[in-house]
Amino acid sequence: MAQAKLQSNETQNREGALRNLYLESLQLVERLHRRLLDVIKDEFDRKGQSDINAVQALLLFNIGNSELTAGELRSRGYYLGSNVSYNLKKLVDLGFINHQRSRIDRRSVRVSLTEKGNEIAKVVGALYDRHIGSIEQVGGIGTDDFEKMNKLMQRLDRFWNDQILYRL
């Protein structure tokens, strides 16, 4: 009886520790995404460019040289918000994105960057390059750290995907 109670307490302690770490990880992922948007916004503020926001700049960077539909942007994880259509329309109106109806499915619209959109994507790319140049020395994060972190995030992504796919 005492042995069973001890095992039960150990299990509860492990589950409690895992719960705390899991919730902390979720908060960190959310915070990192917000912080990335803050860093991108700061870069455009420094350049005095206020015609685009950080979410839109990140979207342009992620589109890059591709030609995609709004659905592909969401499914590839390039856009996290629910209002991708709004931002795409805004970017078309501002001259950052070309849009063209698909010849096969007239309901589908494919988007690609204009030269103006490419310039924004280059600013974000240059920002990332600056980070890459100093993250090991200043941030103390090296190749091995990123490899481990990326593997763990991929496993978490697979876990969450399976939760949806198999209704676990």
Tokens, residue 149: 């972190």
Could you give the CA distance from residue 150 to residue 160 in angstroms, rounded to a whole number? Answer: 15
Q: pLDDT by residue (tens digit) across 77-130?
A: 777 666 788 888 999 999 999 998 877 777 788 899 999 999 999 999 999 999
CA distance 81 to 72: 13
- Token look-up 């090296």 returns 142
The predicted pLDDT at position 5 comes to 65
Q: Does the pLDDT of residue 64 top 80, yes or no?
A: yes
**By C-alpha distance, which of 2, 97, 5, 19 is closest to 59?**
97
Asked whether residue 4 carries a pLDDT value surpassing 70, the answer given is no
Domain ranges (residues) in the chain: 2-165
CATH code: domain 2-165 is 1.10.10.10
Claim: this prediction has a pTM higher than 0.85: yes
Strand order in the sheet with 97-101: 68-69, 109-113, 97-101
